[in-house]
Amino acid sequence: MTKNSNRLYQRAQRHIPAGVNSPVRAFGGVGGHPRFIVRGQGARMQDADGQWLIDYVGSWGPLIVGHAHPEVVLAVQKAAADGLSFGAPTAAEIEVAELLCRLVPSMDMVRLVSSGTEATMSAIRLARGFTGRDLLIKFEGCYHGHSDSLLVKAGSGALTFGNPSSGGVPADLAQHTLVLDYNNTPQLAEAFAQHGDKIAAIIVEPVAGNMNLIAPDPVFLKAMRDLTTQHGALLIFDEVMTGFRVGLGSAQGLYGITPDLSTFGKVIGGGLPLAAFGGRRDIMQKIAPLGSVYQAGTLSGNPVAVAAGLATLKLAQAPDFYERLSNLTKTLCDGLVGAAENHGIAFAAQNIGGMFGLYFAEQCPSTYKEVMACDSAFFKRFFHAMLQSGHYFAPSAFEAGFVSAAHSTTDIAATIAAADAFFENEGTKKPR
């Protein structure tokens, strides 16, 4: 059934490390071989063997209006016809910057870049340049791209500095990053009590999406805002995933927290490489050529990517867009939970806007430790059974999922029915 995908995978491994250009695509977390995709339309994509899959990955979040939306495709075609790149300013760059600042009131100014990694890396450099401090706080399980400062795992004890979590990251660099527990407000307060005058910034996913979906404790979010203000540090919201995905005002609008800097990607590019970082005017004016913090990019503000992003954000501003998206996603989560309960399977799910998390556990986790305690072996069986029946979830137990506006109630019902069949089969295996 997957003959062509397997053949392409074998071919790819000869010249691409592990046959993929981003690690999670290799199916290392679930086993087996990745499907190679040839086209997408609406809520579905077709693999190299002709199977159509209802897609709950959506290019890892950007495709909030679905694959190949006609208005997005038309915008891209028009932009491409005028030229693919100029390395010079265009009016469309101004338009997207104005729109981002209007939709996200915490931002007075933005700079466009090409990837989420580039956006977070630049925001951290700016925070350090603005404050004159070196120490960064991040949280275990949150992913902010693959720059050196961020590929750091927790130290051996509470409030110890981080250790490199990737080869090629100098230990001396990791010592400038303090890795704390997500949703642990007392630990955060203690970190500021000990190191407050050295902390340049906190960077956080306001809704964690890279250790599966973890909802924030509102007390935790407020503590970050209060402590950074009190100690002269900056608060950076990494909204590369949550931006315009959990609501039109993004996570900061949903939770009523105003960060100093924000990073965006995924949805703002509509499926093409576009990202941004922005914030208060006095901070952003420290960026070159106005200030001493250097940042540059040959393809920043690429006109084709900007066109796709503007078309996507225009569609997302339609009345009731996010209400419908959230309701669809909740219907999926509730239906999957109900199917599991019918067959005595320990399973939980939740959504925030168009993002969702699935957990083989009695309840939704709220910490990294609780996520790691979920039954990942059960998830692997679920993943492959659902893929076989035409439903494509993220190939990892530690990634959030995504619903698009192109999904229909029929799509959701079909997925729930397929899951019910899987849970029924698993239930018959349990000892009586």
* Catalytic residue annotation: 143, 238, 266
Look at residues 422, 430, 303 and name the one whose alpha carbon lies nearest to residue 358. 422
Phi-psi region of 247 (alpha: psi -120 to 50; beta: other; left: phi over 0): left
Q: Are 315 and 404 in contact (CB under 8 A)?
A: no
Give the length of the chain: 432
CA dist 388 and 299 (Å) reads: 39
Look at residues 131, 286, 271, 144 and name the one whose alpha carbon lies nearest to residue 196. 131
The first and second tokens of residue 103, run together, are: 């939709």
Q: Are 111 and 300 in contact (CB under 8 A)?
A: yes
Which residue is listed with tokens 């979590």?
165
Q: Are 259 and 120 in contact (CB under 8 A)?
A: no
Q: Are 93 and 112 in contact (CB under 8 A)?
A: yes
Look at residues 254, 255, 202, 251 and name the one whose alpha carbon lies nearest to residue 230. 202
Strand partners, 348: 359
Q: Residues 300, 22, 262, CA angle at the centre, nearest 5°?
A: 45
CA dist 244 and 430 (Å) reads: 42
The first and second tokens of residue 83, run together, are: 């030229």
Cis previous bond, 289, omega within 30: yes
Q: Are 19 and 387 in contact (CB under 8 A)?
A: no
3-state secondary structure of 42: strand
3-state helix vs strand vs coil in the chain, percent to 5: 45, 15, 40
CA dist 4 and 159 (Å) reads: 50
CA dist 246 and 355 (Å) reads: 7
Sign of the alpha-carbon torsion through 400, 238, 220, 331: negative
